[in-house]
Structure 1
């Protein structure tokens, strides 16, 4: 098992000159970077979704931190969590990519990525807890409200 690095950084749905942004919400979010590669950019060509972390109300962001740090199960998906959501509202009803998150000792495992109910060929990824926890906590208020 090879462990991956995870970090988060502020990003936007469109860059400044992208013609696609006309008439669309240019959501700012905490992008998830795994082994130097953006999850958002890896999936953006196929799915118009953005990472759920770093934006929305404080209450919403704190709930997501609880989910990703395995403090509480998701209300409907238990230990599967939405990682990419609707860029307009963040609502899972608009479509989402989810991931199953497990922890074994000091290793966090992201596996079984799914678009709604379709399995995606992504992962699994293994993260050291300390690196993972720091990256996830770093997302709070990253993009503001």
Structure 2
């Protein structure tokens, strides 16, 4: 086992929710990711849709128990001293698959070793081991300090969005979609009579295209008076999956250097994007015709290596006013197609 030390840290992360092209929903999850040597550990696992056991939407008692477990203050939940490092974002069933590792103490140090993909009570390291990851040796004081800090001030992301617009039917469908993926949403004409305490509970405000500047200014002023800092979203078009992706991006407070998808532009029949680590990327084009019918085109769905990439778009999918959504498990970006 290597005697070299790795640095251990924690950082907020998300598993982006959304309305997928086929009509399925992907649940939004906020969690605390492990940062090893300055880089999210999840990024080293390539195309993996998973979250750590330190998720913000689990009951406080369970969250606390997970922290104590990682500190080895409780028995290992799996055979061989193994702990779940990343699990299924939709459920907690081991049969869905999980990344596990042995966590042990060596003197005052904590060691994570023998990473594996596990679907049964016993891990098969020869068949399913992550042979290029770890072992990691962490200094005990830094390791304990990072984890115990979560007990003092657990993350409390604001999953609520205030929707302001003129097309009630679109707002209702958008609110329903957001609630389905785990984001609270309320509809209002403005924010004039909303108590300041309630305004401070929102993470974003989304305006429909028909909302005029005087009403937008009044809403911004109400939030400013309440001392509420929110992300402002200008809805690109009355297309629910597109608006959901815009709101997901607005709620994502992950620093740019710790995101997988960092840039998206679309010109004519080409989209250009940048990813920071190997991951699966889905690119979808949306447009609304003159009869207000929504057309959806799945342009790309595959694993990309780190770097800049050009994705061809069907010219029929981008004629007129159209938009592109790029999605990874860790976030979504939206761009209007320019011609």
Distance 1:50 1:143, change over 3 A: farther
Query: Does the 8 A contact of 1:111 with 1:123 survive in 2?
Result: yes
Query: Does the 8 A contact of 2:77 with 2:83 survive in 1?
Result: no
What do you get for the CA RMSD once the two structures are aligned? 1.9
The number of equivalent residue pairs is 138
Query: Does the 8 A contact of 1:101 with 1:108 survive in 2?
Result: yes
Per the TM alignment, residue 143 of structure 1 is displaced from its structure 2 partner at its CA by 4.8
1:138 pairs with one of 142, 149, 162: 149
Secondary structure of 2:26's aligned partner: coil
| 1:21 pairs with 2:18 | yes
TM-score (norm. length: structure 2): 0.38
Moved over 3 A (4+): none
Query: Does the 8 A contact of 2:29 with 2:55 survive in 1?
Result: no
1:96 pairs with one of 87, 95, 98: 98
Distance 1:26 1:65, change over 3 A: same
Per the TM alignment, residue 79 of structure 1 is displaced from its structure 2 partner at its CA by 1.9
Q: Which residue of 1 aligns with 2:299?
A: none
Query: Does the 8 A contact of 1:110 with 1:124 survive in 2?
Result: yes
Query: Does the 8 A contact of 1:30 with 1:139 survive in 2?
Result: no
TM-score (norm. length: structure 1): 0.84
Whole-angstrom distance in 2 between the partners of 1:135 and 1:86: 24
Whole-angstrom distance in 1 between the partners of 2:75 and 2:53: 16
Whole-angstrom distance in 2 between the partners of 1:50 and 1:70: 20
| 1:127 pairs with 2:124 | no
Distance 1:13 1:143, change over 3 A: farther
Q: Which residue of 2 aligns with 1:48?
A: 49
1:34 pairs with one of 19, 33, 36: 36
Structure with a larger share of its residues in helix: 2
Unaligned runs of 5+ in 2: 20-24, 158-339
Per the TM alignment, residue 72 of structure 1 is displaced from its structure 2 partner at its CA by 1.2
Per the TM alignment, residue 44 of structure 1 is displaced from its structure 2 partner at its CA by 4.8
Per the TM alignment, residue 89 of structure 1 is displaced from its structure 2 partner at its CA by 2.5
Whole-angstrom distance in 1 between the partners of 2:54 and 2:109: 21
Whole-angstrom distance in 2 between the partners of 1:48 and 1:69: 25
Q: Whose RCO is larger (CA < 8 A, sep 6+)? A: 1
Whole-angstrom distance in 2 between the partners of 1:139 and 1:120: 28
Q: Which of the pair has more CA radius of gyration?
A: 2
Deviation digits for residues 18-57 of structure 1 (CA, Å, limit 9, x no counterpart)? xx83321121100110001101222251x22111114311
- Within a 5 Å distance, the mapping from 1:4-15 to structure 2 comes to 4-14=6-16
Secondary structure of 1:51's aligned partner: coil
